[in-house]
Structure formats: C-alpha cells, structure tokens
Amino acid sequence: MTALPASNRGNLPRTDTVPYGGDYNPEQWPQPVWDDDHRLFTQARIDTLTVGVFSWSLTQPAPDTYDFTILDRVLDRAAAENRHVCLATGTAALPPWLAKRHPEVNRTDFEGRRHRYGQRHSFCPSSPAYRGHATAMAARLAERYADHPALLAWHINNEYGGACYCELCAEAFREWLANRYGTLDALNDAWWATFWSHRYTGWDQVEPPNALTEHWRGPDHTAFQGITLDYFRFTTDALLGCFLAEKEVIRAQDPDTPVTTNFMGMFRPLDYHRWAPHLDFASWDSYPPLDAPPTWPALAHDLMRGLKDGAPFWLMEQTPSTTACRDVNPLRRPGELSLATFQAIAHGADAALYFQMRASRGACEKYHGAVIGHAGRADTRVFREVAELGRELESLGDVTLGARTPARTALLFDWDSWWALEISDGPSRLVRYQEVVHAYYRAAREAGADVDVVPVTADLTSYDVVLAPVLHMVKGDLAERLEAVAARGGTVLTTFLSGRVDEHDRAFLTDVPGPLAPLMGVRVDEWDSRPRDFVQPVQLGELTCEARLVFEIVLPRGAEPVGTYGTDFYAGTPAVTRNRFGESGGEGWYVATALDQPGVDWTVRRILGRHDLLGPYADHPALETATRVAPDGTRLLFLLNHAPEPVRLTAHTTATDLLTGKRVEEGEPLTLDPLSTVILRGQ
C-alpha cells in the first residue's frame, strides 16, 4: 500500500489508487450471479465494494440469533478477488422483529403519530432498545471482521437523518437542555420565555416543538425560534450519539481501521460540523438537483472537504446513469458520468463509488441506475463508460491521493444561520440560505478561484478573502476574527440579513448588522420585503442588475457606496458598500439585497481581482477549474468543460495532461472536447 504523510491523508484508508466501486448487495442474489458480478467488476477495474448496508435482518434474524454465513462469503470472495470492502454495520434499517418486540423503536413524527414498522431510517435515536441492539450488532461485526484481509473501512449506519418527537426524545431533550443551560433562568433568558407567558418553572414543562405545540403550517413556522433551534441541535446530537455508540464498540475490537458514515452534502436537518471531529474521514452521497448548475455539487464537495480541515473525502455514492426517487429521473448523457467523477476528485475526493453495483430486482430502487443492469450485460453504454473511467483512474495511480486545495478564499457555511434564517417570522420567507450561499460560491468558482467552504469556527488566518453571505447568526468571537482578516489587508463580504441574532436567536440590541457593523461601516434601520416577482434595479458601475426579495436601507457610517437602488423612496441610496478597515488596506463589503447572478458576479470579481485571485481562464464561464497539491508538492490543475461544445484556450503554463500523457507548452492552443476533463501536472 502507498504510505502518504498523515498531515495530508488524515485517517483515510490507505490505497494505491483511487478506490473505485460502490454499494453491492449480493445477499439479494444466488451464487451464480456473484460469479458474473466479479467477472464484470474485474473488467471495469472495480476494486472496492460497500457491503452490508441493509443486512441487519439477514445477519440477525431473531433477537438472540446471529448468522454471518452470507456476509462471510461476501467478504471472503472479495478478498479472493483482491478487492477491498467498506463494511457497513447495517443499522439504518430495522429488522421487523425489533419493531414488533419494541414498538418504541419506531419514530413519532412531527404531527405526533407513532409510526409502525416500514421503510428505513425509522428508528428513534433515544430508544435504549435501538441503541442496545445496534451497538451489539456493530460489536459482533467488529469482533468477527476486524482482521479480515478485505476490510478497508467501517461504514456506520447509512445517511443519518430524520427527527423523532416521542416521549423518550422529550425526556432526552430536557436532559440535553439541562446540560446546555444549567438553570431554568438561563433557559428562559435564552428562549425569551417571557413572551406569550412561556416562562418555565420545571424542566418537565418543556415540550418538543412540533405540530402539536409551537408550530403551525409545518416545521419552518414556529412561535419560538429558540426552542425549535435547540431541537434541531438536539436532534443532531442525538443521532450523533447513535453513531458514537457504534464507533466505540468497533474501536474496542479494531483500533485502526478508519470509520465513517455517509453524509448528504447540504442536508439541512443535521449540522455536519458537529459530527466532523468524530469521523476519521468524511464521505458523502452526491445526487444534485436535476436543474442544478455544476457549481451546486461543487459547493457540496468543498463543504465535505472543509469538514476535516481540508483533508480529502470519499464520494461514497453517485449514480452511474439515473436516479429513481424523483418524479422525473433524467439519464446522464454520454460523458457526464466521467465529468461528474473528475469534478469530485478535483474538489478533494479520494474515492469514487456508485450506488449501485447491480440493479435490485424489486422494491423502490429497481429502476435506480446501476453499473450492472438486470440483464447482467457488459455491452451497455453505461457499463462501457464505467469501465473506461475505471481504466483512467487506474492509470492515475496514487497521484491525486492526499492532495489538498491551496485556497486563499473561504466561504463560511453555518447550519445555525441556515436554521435561524429559515424559521424566522420576517422579513421574508422567500429567502433561502442555500440559494444565496451558492450564488456567491458560484461567482468565486466561475472566476477561477479555489474556495474552501468552512465553518464559522475555522481558522481564517490563511485567507485573503472571506465570503460570509446571509451570516444571520454571529456567535463567539467571529466578528473579531473577521475584523482581523481585514486588519491584515484582506477582504470580508457579508450580505443582507447578516449579523441579526446571537446563538439563541435573540436580536442584538444594537444597530444592524450587529457585531459586523464596525467592519462593514454601515447602519441599517429599515428593510423592505417584496414578492418574488418584484424587481428593484441596482446600478453597479456600468452594470444594471436586478435585485429581489429584501432591500435593506443602508446608512453609511464610513463605508462608500459601490452600487445604488434605482426605484422607490430609497432610490439612489446604497445597495452595495465598501468600507476601508485598518491600516493595511483591508475592506468590508456589504451587499444589502439579493442581487441576481450577474450582480453577484460583478461584486465578487471586484474583490477577487483586488487580491489577484482571478483564475487564468476566468473568461470561460463553462470551464471549471480546480487545483490540488499532492503530498510531494506536485501541483495539479483540473480543467472541466461543462459545455456541449468545445472550449478553446491558450495554455497558461507548460504541463502534462495526466489522462492522455500529452505535453502542453505555455502559449500553445489547448482544446477541451465537450464534457471532457484535462488534468495538468506542472513541469
């Protein structure tokens, strides 16, 4: 195996090439099918299989009965074929006997209904019966397979998510609150409980916020944002507790094999930053929205990379062809699979895995894309593309493994701000956190800047530019650390609806934007909210762009106007401002409205240009660029053409394309075919 420096690899599994394969469920098939599968896996260069994800009812058919016969055969066969296994604990889907024997393991939903057995991810995270049986299963697996030659990584549960509102969770929530606040006085103050006669005099009076208590019209409409915000945090911690319980018993038997669970990118219900320290390596399942631009999955990739301080992550799942869970499930066009895979690697993926290896014959995923279809053929277009991609990844060897991204631009991503913004009454329920954050990320990426997507607690000292759109909640010393970026000559950008509330979702008793006001040099007393179809023109230099949804009326307090509103009584007042901060030429930019993409692009490019961070191909919007630096210092520049037509460039440096072996001289023409990738290694 290739040994890479721990500082670069973290605790990722050690391999010689990018692990390639995916979710495999041989327990659904007879032995002759296994033989066909492994023959095809070899043909496609498949070397890594994720197994056991939904095998609990098979490996434990009764409370006191364990049967590892099939799983033994699966792992032994993988080892015999020189394939690695990412072994799942199988605890995401309950066996029927567990739900029948312990009805309390089934969740109670937001409307207060206790569910019965069915589907998956249906367990109560506070149920002692669930935790007891799940950890017992994980312990048995670790005891049996810790030293198995095929074992590469542990995969706990699967796509954690979902909230429960049962009495067990209510009691656990009260205990969580007591640990967090210590006293009822502190709780009442944090939740501003004098409002609507909510002052609590006993912990047992607290109820989970749901449709029967504080909510109306669904989970985002709550009378008490502080209560709901804390329940989001509690749910994150409750599910994390389930993960940690399984990890603990695995570690008792296997102290070394890396442990992960598969995240879901920008998944609102769980704060992945609270999970990150407890994973040996991050991994995630990429299924971007159907109409998403390329920067949408790129943002999620960079978010996953940022979970572990820039260490590489695993792409645990993607479809080789189509999904099945949506009303409409378009097919990936020729070339799109390769492009999506290399995009993940460009942004920090050290593995490329699929769901699924062989199509299920029945149930809701029988039409989900698979490397091997129901007929088991090797001459389908999808299989040929998978095999060709496997050949290319094999040819790369270990050159990308452990490589890091040398970003000088950071984008802050904060689940607390996301939650607080979208459960707030006013100014506008039309503002969506992901959409605003993505707009600024997209602008930076399309301008050719590498971007680290980091939590608000991250060390910001290495960045010249920090983008902090809709930073609704400001916690701890964040304001001071942002000021420090500008004080040493950097630039900080934030936007409308930022600096509004503290960690308990209480409004700051100062001028908007709260603790960010000194850095931004503005004061906001009023804001105008309008329907989505209302457009306010904003003038940015020679560009007239459109703004929507929220229009804050800015009073400069040291800042200079960069863009102005065009209509209404506040026409001519600042919509975008720039504030000189400190003696080193730092700046704070404030964007007081939801600019359209051209307006965001204009603003972000001005900031990046100030720090010489515009990429060499910034004038080619369909061309995505990303940089990784290998452990030996080799610089890798990924060029990805997302357009259906060729992109013609002039090479900005002398380099070799790792996929073709072709040398490119500085100044020579460089053409990228539609939906193609070039990986340039500098000379």
> Which tokens sit at 627?
């940089």
Rounded distance between C-alpha atoms, residue 566 and residue 539, angstroms: 7
Range 129-134 contact pairs with CB under 8 angstroms and sequence separation of 24 or more = 129/98, 129/101, 129/102, 129/104, 129/105, 130/94, 130/98, 130/102, 130/105, 130/242, 131/241, 131/242, 131/245, 133/60, 133/63, 133/98, 134/89, 134/91, 134/242, 134/245, 134/246
State which amino acid sits at residue 177.
L
CA-nearest of 134, 138, 133 to 253 is: 138
Dihedral angle of Cα 419, 355, 342, 256, to the nearest 10 degrees = 80
C-beta of residue 391 within 8 angstroms of C-beta of residue 15: no
Q: ∠ CA(302), CA(305), CA(306), 5° rounding?
A: 85
> Computed over its alpha carbons, how large is the radius of gyration of the chain?
26
**Following DSSP, what letter does each residue of 50-72 receive, concatenated?**
EE-TT-HHHH-SBTTB---HHHH
317 is catalytic: yes
Three-state DSSP class for residue 677? strand
C-beta of residue 16 within 8 angstroms of C-beta of residue 397: yes
Q: Is the peptide bond before 631 cis (omega within 30 degrees of 0)?
A: no
For residues 137 and 70, the answer to whether their CB atoms sit within 8 Å is no
3-state class percentages of the chain: helix first, strand second, coil last, to nearest 5 = 30, 20, 45
Catalytic residue (one of 159, 385, 446, 587):
159
| Token reading at 469 | 């759109």
Angle, in degrees to the nearest 10, between helices 433-446 and 295-307: 100
| Residues paired with residue 537 on neighbouring β-strands, in sequence order | 546
Instruction: Please identify which of the residues 104, 214, 246, 317 carries the catalytic annotation.
Output: 317
Q: Which residue has 């993988």 as its token pair? A: 78
Q: Please give the positions annotated as active site.
A: 159, 317
